[in-house]
């Protein structure tokens, strides 16, 4: 277990070492540490070395000149100037909130960005203004459309954050696949098979092989197979891709660049747009009804759902509970970084002469 | 097979017979016939008798005074005055489009409405203005949250319609469950078991029993079980419920009234808002980038996805293809109304002295 403050300080220093401003480095580190605190280990400091690799390969601009390239009172497209998605997305969300403040809602498509960390971090930025926040992003292709043998979509997460009154906020934040790719990597490390319904092989057949995605197979959309609604997961992942990629002028579908060149999926030969795309939104609650009324009703919603009788040995959770439970625990215990992650941080420590251990 | 024009004329007459204006009756019939043409048989004229039952029970106002009760330049809440959702939703969508025309996007929450038919009809209304359309609605509880034994959510569909250039529009339109309830009813008629992963029994255990939902069980969220991401389907269905119900001031969660009193799920004892709720949205493409550019990129997206190698015996479809294929076929062959539906139409024919056969 490693204290999160220690990892945070180190992460900030690494981002500064590759040229980020202190403000940007603090923000980027906050997004990553939030993932680790919330139990989304795959999206936390485990990726710090990946961001540095992006920088090494000239795909990351540590001092981006983020700009609005097109706008109306409630919409905008932003060029992230190859900046860290961890920094570009909050910038875009701030713009969405300002638009919502003025005209009720704000929607910002982002082109020319990179991996933005956990979607829930960005959607949650709307909560302090009594707004509903939206965040989504496309990503490099790992997912097969229903009946396709070819991977054409990323795990394309979507997040919606909704404020409550005395209850904690509602936070939906999920990849539009049956399972996140990080879970496959865990099975690979453990040498365990995957449950059926997570992946298919190169022929498009169901498989339990934990390395199928690297060998021509693909992750299945949420729903798993057609009979269980995989066309719905495919549809939802497509909406995320189109709003994030096509609407913004970023890459989309099979052309979305991989997170870092260490990725096994190769770099797309062709570019149909600029970088990776995101889509952020903010809706002012009192654009629809008084915020107090709404938040009290949200408390009723949350407590009613929480009180549902659960199947034996389980509890009915509210979207966001899992992340909150992890956070409460890990603020006390520290972050359970695995050996490989610690190794990668120690390498960065050596390279940049910034103490970690 | 019954010619769709014949059913359309009859449906219009029935809506007029219960007091709808000619304009409203034509619109309401168009929504229902669209469902039948698109292959969504459960949401077409099969429900006409249900709307009449709603009227009989005083829950449907055939001459609603639909009103804006709260608004900003890009948002509004509309009171449907207990009108047909089939009419209230297009009214709200028109408002969303006008707002989008002026400030880039428009978002309208609707309270005090009834069942609005297929979500895809309403989202598609945005297409002719080069806008992306959104439509969702909550519905009476048939669905269990992950690990819950109690049904707290409706099948809560979500639809997003996105224009293309030479290619047909992208249209995602799906219930946030593993399967629509209509498919369970088909199995009941056929006396066949359900695939595992569609429903659970009253104890919260997986079951293939086709009548489980009526006997204390529930439909499973998209994803099926926790291991396959049911918490994601639960999260998505919850977002639809909150935007449609809580944000609008309609009922939500277990309190959403059933479609018609013939429903087996009983009428909620308590009301926490007004009627059923919807949420509609429109985003102007050129609020983000020139519409022509976008639509050409959508053509690229669509043709690229269509060209993916498919598993043997299948094709890779674009969201919306299935509906279009049904429509092309049924415009020629007519609607395959089943006996029970024809019976219900003949009863209406007798009661209102309007010829059907």
pLDDT tens-digit map of B270-297: 789 999 999 999 999 999 999 999 999 9
Chain A interface, best mutation among B108, B224, B228, B277, by max A CB count within 10 A: B228
Q: What is the pLDDT of residues A41-51, one digit of tens each?
A: 989 999 999 99
Tokens found for residue A114: 């990179």
Cα–Cα separations (whole angstroms), residue B50 to A215, A230, B115, B117:
52, 30, 10, 12
The strands making up A206-207's β-sheet, listed across from edge to edge, are: A206-207, A199-200, A218-219
Confidence of residue A182 (pLDDT cuts 50, 70, 90): confident
A261, pLDDT greater than 70: no
Whole-angstrom distance, CA of residue B310 vs CA of residue A200: 13
Confidence of residue A265 (pLDDT cuts 50, 70, 90): very low
Q: Which of A77, A232, A312 is nearest residue B288 as measured by Cβ atoms?
A: A77
Strand ranges for chain B from DSSP E:
67-71, 75-79, 105-113, 131-137, 158-162, 170-174, 199-200, 206-207, 218-219, 276-284
Cα A303 to Cα A318: distance, rounded to the nearest angstrom: 9
Examine the pLDDT at B185 and tell me if it is beyond 90. no
Tell me if ipTM is over 0.90. yes
Question: Per the CB < 8 Å rule, is A283 touching B107?
Answer: yes
Q: Give the residue from chain A lying closest to B107, CA to CA.
A: A105
List pLDDT tens digits, range B50-81: 999 999 999 999 999 999 999 999 999 999 99
- Hey, what are B98's tokens? 């006008």
Is the pLDDT assigned to residue A266 strictly greater than 70?
Answer: no
Distant-in-sequence, close-in-space partners of B245: CB < 8 Å, separation ≥ 6: B138, B251, B252, B253, B256, B273, B276, B277
Pick B105's closest partner by Cβ from A105, A174, A227: A105
- Find chain A residues with C-beta within 8 A of B310's C-beta: 147-149, 204
d(CA A158, CA A221): 13
What integer pLDDT is reported at residue B269 of this predicted model? 62
Q: Among partner residues A109, A283, A293, which is closest to B288 by beta-carbon distance?
A: A109
The answer to whether the CB atoms of B317 and A231 lie below 8 A apart is yes
A285 contacts on B by Cβ (under 8 Å): 247
Which segments of B14-124 are extended strands (E)?
67-71, 75-79, 105-113
| Lookup: tokens for B67 | 């009103």
Hey, what domains does chain B have and what are their CATH numbers? 1-63+327-357 (1.10.1530.10), 64-178+223-307 (3.30.1370.60), 179-219 (3.30.60.50)
Q: Exposed (0-12), middle (13-18) or buried (19+): which is B114, by Cβ within 10 Å? A: buried
pLDDT value at residue B111 = 98
Q: Which pLDDT score, from 0 to 100, does residue A262 have?
A: 47
| DSSP secondary structure, A70-121, as one string | EE-SSEEEEE-TT--HHHHHHHHHHHHHHHHHHHSEEEEEEEEE---S-HHH
> pLDDT band at residue B265, thresholds of 50, 70 and 90?
very low
Question: Could you say which residues from 40 to 79 on chain B have a Cβ atom under 8 Å away from some Cβ of chain A?
Answer: 70-77
Q: Which token pair is A22?
A: 């202190």
Whole-number CA gyration radius for chain A: 20
- Residue A210: beta bridge partners? none
Q: Give the relative orientation of helices B85-103 and B22-37 as an angle to the nearest 10 degrees.
A: 90
pLDDT-derived band at B196 (thresholds 50, 70, 90) equals very high
Residue B189 has a pLDDT of 85
Which of B179, B236, B300 is the closest to A272 by Cβ? B300
Q: What is the pLDDT of residues B9-24, one digit of tens each?
A: 999 999 999 999 999 9
Kindly determine whether residue B75 and residue A288, on different chains, have CB atoms separated by under 8 Å: yes
Residue numbers in B near A176 (CB within 8 A) = 232
Q: What is the pLDDT of residues B109-138, one digit of tens each?
A: 999 999 999 999 999 999 999 999 999 999
Q: To probe the interface with A, which of B40, B72, B317 has the most A CB atoms within 10 Å?
A: B72
Euclidean distance between CA atoms B108 and B122, whole angstroms: 12
Cα–Cα distance for residue pair A327/A40, rounded to 1 Å: 10
pLDDT band at B264 (very low <50, low <70, confident <90, very high): very low
Phi, psi of B18 (to 5 degrees): -90, 5
Asked if B328 has any chain A CB less than 8 Å from its own CB, the reply is no
Task: Write the burial class of residue B302 (CB in 10 Å: 0-12 exposed, 13-18 middle, 19+ buried).
Answer: buried
Write the pLDDT tens digit of every residue in A332-347: 999 999 999 999 999 9
Report the distance separating Cα A116 and Cα A155, nearest Å: 13
The pLDDT value recorded for residue B261 is: 52
| B40 pLDDT more than 80 | yes
Cross-chain CB nearest to B77 (options A132, A235, A289): A289
Smallest CA–CA distance, residue B232 to chain A, in Å, is 6
Question: What distances in angstroms separate CA A306 from CA A160, A311, B89, B226, B297, one per listed residue?
Answer: 19, 13, 31, 17, 44
Tell me phi and psi for residue B101, to 5 degrees.
-55, -40
Summarize pLDDT for A54-107 with one digit per residue, the tens: 999 999 999 999 999 999 999 999 999 999 999 999 999 999 999 999 999 999
For position A269, what pLDDT does the model report?
A: 62
Task: Categorize the per-residue pLDDT at A268 as very low, low, confident or very high, splitting at 50, 70 and 90.
Answer: low
Choosing among A229, A294, A298, which should be mutated to test the B contact, i.e. which has the most B CBs within 10 A?
A229
Which positions 196-225 of B are in contact with A (Cβ < 8 Å)? Answer: 197-198, 203-205, 222-224
Summarize pLDDT for B200-221 with one digit per residue, the tens: 999 999 999 999 999 999 999 9
């Amino acid at each position: 277990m490693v204290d999160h403050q220690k990892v945070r300080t180190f992460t900030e220093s690494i981002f500064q070492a590759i040229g980020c401003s202190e403000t940007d480095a603090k923000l980027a580190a906050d997004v990553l540490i939030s993932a680790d605190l919330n139990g989304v280990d795959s999206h936390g400091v485990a990726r710090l070395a990946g961001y540095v690799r992006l920088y090494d390969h000239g795909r990351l601009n540590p001092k981006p000149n983020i700009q609005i390239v097109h706008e109306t009172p409630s919409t905008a497209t932003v060029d992230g100037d190859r900046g860290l998605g961890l920094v570009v997305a909050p910038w875009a969300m701030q713009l969405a909130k300002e638009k919502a403040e003025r005209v009720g809602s704000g929607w910002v498509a982002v082109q020319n960005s990179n991996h933005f960390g956990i979607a829930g971090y960005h959607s949650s930025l709307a909560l302090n203004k009594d707004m509903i926040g939206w965040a989504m992003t496309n990503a490099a292709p790992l997912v097969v459309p229903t009946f396709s043998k070819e991977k054409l979509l990323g795990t394309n997460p979507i997040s919606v954050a909704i404020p409550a009154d005395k209850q904690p906020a509602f936070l939906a934040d999920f990849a539009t696949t049956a399972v996140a790719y990080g879970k496959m990597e865990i099975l690979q490390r453990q040498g365990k098979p995957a449950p059926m319904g997570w992946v298919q092989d190169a022929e498009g057949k169901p498989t339990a092989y934990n390395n199928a995605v690297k060998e021509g197979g693909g992750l299945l959309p949420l729903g798993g197979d057609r009979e269980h609604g995989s066309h719905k997961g495919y549809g939802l992942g497509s909406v995320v891709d189109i709003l994030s990629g096509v609407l913004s002028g970023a890459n989309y579908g099979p052309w979305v660049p991989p997170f870092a060149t260490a990725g096994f999926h190769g770099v797309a030969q062709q570019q149909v747009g600029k970088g990776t795309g995101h889509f952020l939104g903010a809706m002012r609650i009192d654009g629809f009804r008084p915020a107090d009324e709404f938040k009290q009703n949200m408390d009723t919603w949350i407590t009613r759902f929480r009180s549902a009788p659960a199947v034996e040995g389980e509890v009915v959770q509210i979207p966001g509970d899992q992340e909150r439970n992890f956070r409460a625990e890990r603020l006390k215990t520290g972050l359970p970084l695995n050996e490989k992650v610690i190794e990668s941080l120690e390498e960065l420590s050596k390279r940049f002469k910034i103490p970690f251990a």
